[in-house]
Amino acid sequence: MLKNDLLKNNGEIIRIITIKNNHALVINCIKRNMPYWINIELLESYIPCNDQELLIISHKTLYNINELDARSQSIIYFRYGIIEPLIYEIDNKKKRNILKKNISIQNNISGQTLRKYLCDYLAFQDKTILAPKKNISNKTLSKDEKNMRWALNKFFYTKRKNSLYTAYLFMLKEKYTINDKLQESHPSFYQFRYFYRKTKKLQTYYISRNGIKDYQKNHRPLLGNGIKEFAPTIGTGMLDSTICDIYLINTDGNIIGRPILTVCIDAYCGLCYGYNLSWKGGIHSISGLMENIVSDKHLLCEIFGINIGEHEWINKSIPGTMVTDKGTEYISASFEQLAELELCENLTQFRLVFSDGMRLWTSRGVIVAVE
């Protein structure tokens, strides 16, 4: 009887997590509750079991992590990262509970969700069990769902800007009323609202109700509320370089050239992760940028005689997602582990509108027109 052994008895499958003083810390792999201690003598009636049998009984599937897409891998590593401290203290209930409370607060997730991640991993001992569920595509809509979709398109997503409840009333009148009598079987407003929230797309909402011109001006990604869909949280870094519109000279008055500015900005909050100002572009500027991103900004500013508080520029880490113009600078052995080059997200040009009415168009980080 060893650590990580699977045992079964009367439809129950348990896994041994650790053994101490004739007691074993085990987890029920079917119910997947928190681990508990049990006397080793009580396990004599159990017989060995294998991982394949556990997967069949629990109706779970494990994957090859290298075959998953970048988003799924990122979620797996994030979920494993937040439960890793709990795994090391799994046999110490007091420390485990303190850690669990702190991790829940720091990562803004419930204790129940944290327990689920922990128990799933302990039961299957494979990180891919933490992969997000795959969305079921081409799901057949029920008759009520088709009616709700019809009502939203006809009465809500229009320039009349009807409220959601008004669209619901129109649906009842058109689809669930016979001879001026409302049918007993009809969706409630809460079901209608749930279907709307589940299928809502901000792009469709703004274009259908306010027009394409308002959407292009105020709500596209990188401007206004459209950012909620493109980057719903902190961690998406936008990288780009541009040649500064200034010529530098040396002490003799001879022109040296124009410096190249490379910057990484968070798409969600506008935080500057870091920058690099140099004479060389390409891989050299990106290398300097990455060094700047992970450096202590408080000490960096001190070198240049700028005094800032440590809380004023707290970033010292690389963003989880990096968006560049085709990412050609990353095709090298130095940075191949920093980016998934197979993923390409095409972004349209965007326009900034200032309070005084001036408009500025940019493309690939360069100002192309000012009105």
Query: What is the distance between the alpha carbons of residues 81 and 58, in angstroms, rounded to a whole number?
Result: 24
Reported as a single tens digit per residue, the pLDDT across 173-199 is: 999 999 889 999 999 999 999 999 999
pLDDT band at 217 (very low <50, low <70, confident <90, very high): confident
Provide Rg for the chain, Cα atoms. Answer: 28
pLDDT at 169: 95
Q: Could you please report the per-residue DSSP string of 112-181?
A: HHHHHHHHHHHHH--GGGGSPPPP--SPPPPHHHHHHHHHIIIIISSTT---HHHHHHHHHHHHSEETTE
Q: Higher model confidence: residue 109 or residue 363?
A: 109
pLDDT at 362: 43
pLDDT band at 10 (very low <50, low <70, confident <90, very high): confident
- pLDDT at residue 152 is higher than 80: yes
Vertex 115: Cα angle to 109 and 116 (nearest 5) = 95
Q: Rounded to the nearest 5°, which phi and psi values hold at 238?
A: -100, 120
Reported as a single tens digit per residue, the pLDDT across 225-262 is: 556 667 777 888 888 888 998 888 888 888 888 999 99
Query: What is the distance between the alpha carbons of residues 208 and 160, in angstroms, rounded to a whole number?
Result: 10
Reported as a single tens digit per residue, the pLDDT across 278-300 is: 988 878 888 888 899 999 988 88
- pLDDT at residue 21 is higher than 50: yes
pLDDT at 168: 96
Residue type at 73 in one-letter notation? Q
**What does the block give as tokens for 248?**
């530098």
pLDDT at 162: 94
Q: Higher model confidence: residue 224 or residue 309?
A: 309
By mean pLDDT, which of 135-139, 201-205, 320-324 is the weakest?
A: 135-139
Q: Higher model confidence: residue 349 or residue 154?
A: 154
Mean pLDDT of 134-155: 84
pLDDT at 174: 94
pLDDT at 268: 80
Mean pLDDT of 128-148: 82
Give the rounded percent of residues in the chain with a pLDDT score beyond 70.
Answer: 83
Q: Are 317 and 232 in contact (CB under 8 A)?
A: no
Mean pLDDT of 55-84: 87
Query: What is the distance between the alpha carbons of residues 328 and 306, in angstroms, rounded to a whole number?
Result: 34
pLDDT at 371: 39
Length of the chain, in residues: 371
pTM equals 0.43
**What does the block give as tokens for 346?**
């095409």
Q: What is the mean pLDDT of the chain?
A: 83
pLDDT at 327: 60
- pLDDT at residue 352 is higher than 50: no
- pLDDT at residue 361 is higher than 50: no
Residue type at 291 in one-letter notation? E
Reported as a single tens digit per residue, the pLDDT across 66-76 is: 888 878 888 89
pLDDT at 210: 92
Residue 368's contacts (CB-CB under 8 Å, 6 or more residues apart) are 361, 362
DSSP assigned state of 65 = G
pLDDT at 151: 95
Q: Could you please report the per-residue DSSP string of 294-329?
A: TS-HHHHHHHTT----TTTS---S--SEEE-STTGG
- pLDDT at residue 209 is higher than 90: yes
